[in-house]
Amino acid sequence: MSNILIKNLINTLFFNIRNKLAFSRPIKRLPNENKELIFSDQTIKNKAQNILEAYNLTDIYNNSNKLHYKETLYTIKLLEDVFENTEILAELNQANILDIGSKNFSYANALHSFFSYYKTNTKRDVYLDGIEIDPFRIMADFHSRYDYAMYYIKNLPNTNYLTGDFLELACKNYDVITWFLPFLITEPLIRWGLPVKYLKPEIMFQKAYDLLNPKGVMLVVNQFEKEKNIQLKMITGLGLNYIEIKKPYTNIFSPYQLERYIILIRKD
């Protein structure tokens, strides 16, 4: 019996147990960590402060750990860099956003605030859905991803954390879809504890594209050039319009060590 087959059997067993038990233990409050020494460069500190103020996220500084703080800044800066040269957001008074594979949805505040305030003189109405197939995976502190997601979105209006298989859920149409690190090959999916039967990148991608409103956009972030090339082959095979950031994407707030690549797909 191959190693992948064995791991797949184990993943299937524990995945089914997790979702049947649906273990949840609500989080009342997460401890804050001091951020003063995270960035030594004053220019970076100033940029961080500007982002927190511009997107009404100053509370993140006083109520988050260091990783959550950096992830929030990183996500906002990434979105600014991507949407700088597109006017789709300027044309929207209301934005329907879907995030696929949300894990514990720790970046929900960043998504909601960015799409609320970017390229608008008045606050935009945002309707944000995050979807996760493995929401009851238990973290080191014995809280589930679901517990964390509920904590992160508790003060965000019109925000939902959807649980289940993206292909089985009836979804509405969206102006923007974000998809960070989609599973395209077997090894990462197995490593993250999912059964192989859920590896359906082409079908999932087609459904996501079909859910976009006319002139809607899908932001895809891949890890490693190999996965980016697989993603591009899929996109070109469908004859879709896209913009590729050819070099590995970096920004000054990144908490990540591994290279990432960005593709932006526009629906005609």
Tens-digit pLDDT string for the chain (268 aa):
688 899 999 999 999 999 999 999 999 999 999 999 999 999 999 999 999 999 999 999 999 999 999 999 999 999 999 998 888 888 888 999 999 999 999 999 999 999 999 999 889 999 999 999 999 999 999 999 999 999 999 999 999 999 999 999 877 999 999 999 999 999 999 999 999 999 999 999 999 999 999 999 999 999 999 999 999 999 999 888 899 988 999 999 999 988 999 999 999 8
Q: Structure pTM?
A: 0.96
Identify the pLDDT of residue 146.
Answer: 98
pLDDT at 1: 60
Whole-angstrom distance, CA of residue 130 vs CA of residue 55: 20
Tokens of 47: 């940029």
CATH of span 3-21+38-266 = 3.40.50.150
**Residue 233 DSSP SS3:** helix
- pLDDT for residue 85: 81
DSSP assignment of 138-200: B-TTS-BHHHHHHHHHTT-TTEEEEES-GGGS----EEEEEEES---SHHHHHHTT--GGG--
Tokens 């590995």 belong to residue: 248
Nearest-angstrom CA–CA distance, 60 and 204 = 33
Give phi and psi for 92, each to the nearest 5: -105, 125
Domain ranges of the chain: 3-21+38-266
